[in-house]
Amino acid sequence: MVERALQKMHGTTRGKFFYAQNRTVAIRPTDARTPKMGYYRGAKAGNDYIYLNPNDERFYDESTFRDLSKHAGEIPPATDEGRAAILGHEFGHVFGGIDENLGGRNVRDNENSIRSELSRPDAVIPLRRSVGGHQFRVDE
Ligand SMILES: [Zn+2]
């Protein structure tokens, strides 16, 4: 499931940019020690890790799902395309992306660009307009 989503992401403009950086990113399953999905930088060597919940069709852990459910209309479909957008968010963090609730543009530049590129008339992926309880405009 992860591999197919990575391939979809790789097919997008943003995904091609990520892959062109030639950076090693380890994808790991969430577990009792790291229950929350997302991007982590290793404390010792500074390695890059993306943790994903292998038991969820969007890689979400319970707390992530609860947070995102506040804007349920923005949750991407549980398809390879939707999962590619979710990966795009986390890869955005690998390359320095900062979320909008912290003053950055990670959702707009990395996640939404993949959402719109992979959206099709018969399988629309809505744009995301909120992160961490913060709402933002998608047209700026
Ligand atoms: Zn984020």
Q: Mind listing the pLDDT tens digit for each residue in 49-67?
A: 999 999 999 999 999 999 9
**Tens digits of per-residue pLDDT, 13-29?**
999 999 999 999 999 99
Q: Is residue 43 part of a domain?
A: no
Instruction: Please report whether residue 36 resides in a domain.
Output: no
Q: How far is the CA of 114 from the centre of ligand 1 (A)?
A: 15
Q: How far is the CA of 127 from the centre of ligand 1 (A)?
A: 15
Coil, strand or helix: which one is 51?
Answer: strand
Structural domain boundaries, residue 103: 2-22+58-132
Q: Identify whether 42 is part of a domain.
A: no
Domain count, the chain: 1
Ligand 1 centroid – CA 89 distance (Å): 6
Is residue 45 situated within a structural domain?
A: no
Q: How far is the CA of 90 from the centre of ligand 1 (A)?
A: 6
Residues lining ligand 1 (ion), CB within 5 A? 99
pLDDT at position 117 is 98
Q: What is the pLDDT of residue 140?
A: 81
In a domain, 123, yes or no: yes
Query: Would 50 be classed as within a structural domain?
Result: no
Report yes or no on 10 lying in a domain.
yes
At residue 100, the pLDDT reads 97
- 118 touches 8 (CB < 8 A): yes
Q: Does residue 111 fall inside a structural domain?
A: yes
